Amino acid sequence: MINIAESALALLKKSEAEARKLLKKESGPVSVAASSVHKLGEALVMIGQGTERRFLLVVADYPQVLPAGFEGELHRLSDGAALVGKLSAANAAALRRHFPWTAPSSLHDCRTTIGCGDRLGLAGRGQLASIRKFKVKPVLAQQSKRELSMTNRSFQDVVDAACFSVFEADWREGWGADGDHLKTIADLEPALAAGMPMVTLDLSDQIVAAAAAWEDGEVSERFGDCDPAEQERIRSEYENQVFVVGESEVAVDGATARRCAVMYGAALDFAVKVFQYLKSKRGSDFDLELSFDETGVETVPAHHLFIARELRKRGVELASLAPCFPGEFQKGVDYRGNLAEFERQLRLHVRIAHAYGDYKLSIHSGSDKFSVFPIIGRETGGRFHLKTAGTSWLVAAGVIAAHEPALYREMHRCALENFGRMKQFYHITADPARIPALEAVADTALPELLELPEERQLMHISYGPILQGELGGRFFAAMHRFSKEYDAALERWFDRHLSLLGVGKRQCK
C-alpha cells in the first residue's frame, strides 16, 4: 500500500490520464483501479484493493493540502503524505462533495433506465462495465425495506456503496438511487435523507384488490358509499366511454368504471399526498414510480387508463408506473405465460402511458425474463425502466459455486433450512424436493445446478440467512478474493439482458 502511495506521490505533477496509465502497471497483492485515479487540487484520490478489503487512498505533497473531509490513517511518505481510509460513510460523503457526479440524480428525462439492485454492495463495477456499452442509464442504488432488513444495511449504506463504484469506474454520465417498494411517508424519509431521488411507491396496502373478484352488485354497493358528487363525476367521465390512445381504443363500461373507483380511489388519493410530499422535500428533482405489481391482481388496460387519467387530472407527474402484467414474473426465472397476450396488453399499456404523461413503463422482477425482453424493447420503443435485484446476487452465488464449491454447499444447505420461512416474503413456486441431493452433484457441476429454476429460486430468496454470521463472513471474504471473476460474470450477464432488450450500443470512442 505504501509503495503505491509513493508511486502516486511521484505522479502529482502529471495529468490525470498519465497518472492512470503509469499506476496501472502496479500489481501484486495490493493494486489500484486505474479508472479511480482522480486529481483533486494538489492531491490524487483513488481506490485500491488489498488482500482483505478495498480502501480509499489520498496522496499529497504535504498533510496540510490533503483535501478536507476524508478520514483514515495518515502516513508520512518520503516526500509527502498519504491518507488511507475505509470505504466509509464519511469518505463517501467527501467524494460526493468534491466530485458531484458521484451523487445520485433524477433520471426523469432518460429514455431507458435499468435498476441494478445490489444486495451485497459489490456489484457496481461489473454492472457499470456492461452499462457503459449501451444507451441506458443505471439506477445503481436500488433497495427495498425488505432487502435492507435481510442484509442489515441502510439506505445510506446502499447509496454509499454505489457512490464508491461510480468513482472507481469514473462513471460521469449520471446514475439514480431508488427507495424501492416503500408504502408509507415514514418509509420515504430515510431514503430521501440518504439522497435517493427516486421513490417506488408500493400501493398494495391502499388498493382494494379483493374488489377485482367481487360481483357487480357488491361493487355497486361499495361505490354507493362514495361521495355523491364523485359518483356522478365517475359516471359522466367514464361510463360507457371509449378512449383513443394512439392507434388503439380502450372501452370502459359502467361496471368497470365503478370497480376502478372502488379499487383505486384510496390509492390515488395517497399517491397525490406522496407526490406533494416529495415536491415539498425535493422540488422537481425526484422520480416517482407507482407500483401496482404486488397486488396479485392483473392491471388490465382499462384499469391502467383510469389510473393514468385520474393521476393526470390531479396533477401527479410520474417518472414510471409498474402494472401487474399478465402471466408470472417470478423471481430468478424466465417469464411464465402467454407471450402473444403479454405483447398485446403491453402495446396498450405503452400507448396509455404515452397519452397520459409519457411516463415509462416499469417491469418489476425483470431480471432473467429473456423470452419477453425482445417484446419489451420493441413495443416500448426503448422507453422503459427494468428492475433487477436478485440476479446480481445469483451471479455472486455462481462465482462461489465455480471457485469455492465447499462454501457453496454450505450456502445451499442454509437456504434449504430456511426455505419455508423465506418463502413467505416472495411469490415463487419452486419445489426444493425437485433439486438433486448435493451429495450426488460433483463440484464441477455446481454452476450447472444453479441454472435449474428450483435452485435459482431457492438461492434467490435465501440471501438473508446466508449473509448472516460466520457463513456470511466467509462468503464476503471469498467474494473479495474473486472480485475480478464477479465483475466479469456480471458484465456478461447484464450484456445478455441489455442486448435482448434491444438497447442500442454506444459508439466506441
Per-residue pLDDT tens for 64-104?
A: 999 999 999 999 998 899 999 999 999 999 999 999 999 99
Q: Is 114 helix (H, G, I), strand (E, B) or coil?
A: strand
Give the pLDDT of residue 507: 74
E strands in 293-337 = 320-322
Would you say 480 is a known binding-site residue?
Answer: no
Backbone φ, ψ for residue 79 (5° rounding): -145, 45
**Residue 412 CA: distances (Å) to CA of 146, 418, 443, 463, 490:** 21, 10, 13, 10, 21
Read off the C-alpha cell for 311. 393521476
Nearest to 92 by CA among 36, 156, 160: 160
Q: How many CB atoms lie within 10 A of CB 28?
A: 8
Low-confidence ranges of the chain (pLDDT < 70): 24-27, 508-509
Q: What is the pLDDT of residue 508?
A: 56
pLDDT at 24: 65
Beta-bridge partner residues of 362: 385
CB atoms within 10 A of CB 38: 19
Question: Is position 24 annotated in a ligand binding site?
Answer: no
Cβ pair 490, 126 in contact under 8 A: yes
Catalytic residue among 168, 178, 180, 455: 180
Residue 364 annotated as lining a ligand binding site: yes
The span from the CA of 138 to the CA of 133, in Å, is 12
Q: Could you give the percent of the chain with pLDDT greater than 70?
A: 99
Half-sphere exposure of 260 (CA within 13 A, CB side): 25
Give 248-273 pLDDT, tens digit per residue: 999 999 999 999 999 999 999 999 99
Cα within 13 Å of Cα(187), Cβ side: 20
Cell of 199: 421513490
Question: Which pLDDT does position 424 carry in this prediction?
Answer: 92
- Residue of 118, 178, 287, 289 marked active site: 289
In this prediction, residue 30 carries a pLDDT of 87
pLDDT for res 79: 87
Is 157 marked active-site?
A: no
What are 26-31's contacts with CB under 8 Å, separation 24+? 30/1, 30/3, 30/4, 31/4
Q: Counting runs of H as helices and runs of E as strands, what totals does the chain give?
A: 20, 16
Supply the pTM of this predicted model: 0.96
212, 263 contact by CB (below 8 A)? yes
For the question of residue 289 being annotated catalytic, the response is yes
pLDDT (tens digit per residue) in 12-47: 999 999 999 988 665 578 899 999 999 999 999 999
Q: Return the pLDDT at 417.
A: 97
Query: What DSSP character marks residue 317?
Result: P
The predicted structure's pLDDT at residue 360 = 98
